């Protein structure tokens, strides 16, 4: 805190003679703050937790749930002991060893893919956390836009220079995270859509028997726990990612509103001085404040800005699927 106080006290004023003095100081201060880096500790912790969760889910789907009295196995009634014996072979036979080895390879491949997708979401979430920290730093160390001076025209010009400096500071603070998001947004969108499809499929499979639509059809043999558990493995990292993205966009929107209010105050202050001024400068100042930081929000590849709709939709689907899953377990 003392370092931040010294840096804030050493911030230069925005001068028309040197229009980049403040942004040069901001760049040096931002680089010295270490906010460009991501701590490896939280990344490793989240990766290990995701690894254990994925392993437990796959083992539960394949073996552990067989020990709970058979409530989860009514969809596998077609697999008689004779057919299982034919598939796995006799105990101690090469066929049994090969079948077990293939099953372990299948579980490992599935777990590796699921963990890879979850790790992608976790890495993106940590990159967005760095973006949030950078935005907060830029908002804390931004130039003063509305400053009372003796000359009206100088006040408006100074406000225009301050807006330009503020935009330069934010562009520099968000440059690295913009590059990261440009690389990660398409894989993130694919992972998000996959999670939505898995949860929606589980929800439909769980809800259809309650509505009496499947009955004796072939769809009734599909196990809804498989897409539900896979979606559960992806939902946690994706919700964290989407919440941080929404928070970053909210910070940018608040900063844009602050710029508009500050420029309006600067215009009102200049008008209150009673001196003649060029109306063109007022218009230019308002245009600058309205156009500032328009490209600083996070967007999907299609151009839609990220908000709270994405995590809320994912959480609602997950909650509904889990509720129906527990309901179906109670009925079985």
pLDDT given for residue 164 in this prediction: 85
Compute the average pLDDT of residues 215-244. Answer: 83
Q: pLDDT-derived band of residue 188, with 50, 70 and 90 as boundaries? A: very high
Q: CA-to-CA distance for 191 and 233, rounded, in angstroms?
A: 11
Give me 321's structure tokens: 């699927």
* Boundaries of every domain in the chain: 20-38+114-331
- pLDDT, one tens digit per residue, over 58-102 is 988 887 777 665 555 555 555 667 777 777 777 778 888 888 889
Map residue 329 onto helix, strand or coil.
Answer: helix
- H/E stretch holding 288 reads helix 279-291
- pLDDT, one tens digit per residue, over 267-305 is 777 667 654 456 677 777 778 778 778 888 999 998 899
Q: Tokens 């777990």 identify what position?
A: 111
Give me 187's structure tokens: 């894989």
Q: CA-to-CA distance for 119 and 56, rounded, in angstroms?
A: 17
pTM of the predicted model as reported, rounded to 2 decimal places = 0.80
């Amino acid at each position: 805190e003392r370092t931040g106080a010294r840096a804030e006290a050493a911030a230069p004023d925005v001068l028309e003679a040197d229009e980049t003095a403040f942004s040069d100081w901001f760049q040096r201060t931002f680089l010295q703050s270490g906010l460009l880096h991501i701590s490896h500790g939280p990344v490793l912790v989240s990766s290990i937790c995701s690894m254990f969760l994925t392993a437990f889910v796959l083992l539960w789907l394949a073996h552990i749930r067989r020990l709970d009295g058979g409530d989860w196995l009514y969809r596998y009634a077609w697999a008689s002991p004779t057919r299982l014996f034919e598939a796995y072979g006799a105990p101690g036979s090469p066929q049994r060893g090969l079948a077990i080895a293939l099953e372990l390879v299948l579980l490992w491949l599935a777990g590796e893919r699921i963990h890879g997708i979850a790790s992608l979401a976790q890495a993106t979430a940590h990159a967005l956390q760095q973006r949030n920290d950078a935005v907060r730093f830029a908002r804390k160390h931004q130039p003063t836009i509305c400053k009372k001076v003796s000359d009206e025209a100088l006040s408006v010009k100074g406000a225009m220079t301050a807006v330009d400096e503020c935009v330069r500071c934010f562009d520099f603070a968000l440059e690295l995270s913009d590059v990261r998001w440009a690389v990660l947004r398409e894989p993130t969108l694919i992972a998000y859509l996959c999670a939505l499809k898995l949860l929606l499929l589980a929800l439909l499979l769980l809800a259809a028997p309650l509505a009496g639509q499947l009955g004796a059809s072939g769809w009734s043999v599909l196990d809804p726990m498989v897409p539900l558990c896979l979606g559960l493995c992806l939902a946690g990292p994706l919700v964290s990612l989407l919440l941080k993205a929404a928070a970053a966009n909210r910070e940018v929107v608040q900063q844009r509103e602050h710029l508009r209010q500050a420029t309006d105050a600067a215009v009102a202050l200049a008008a209150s001085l009673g001196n003649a001024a060029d109306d063109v400068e007022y218009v230019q100042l308002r245009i600058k404040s309205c156009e500032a930081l328009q490209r600083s929000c996070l967007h999907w590849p299609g151009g839609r800005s990220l908000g709270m709709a994405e995590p809320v939709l994912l959480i609602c689907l997950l909650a509904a699927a889990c509720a129906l899953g527990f309901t179906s377990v109670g009925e079985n």
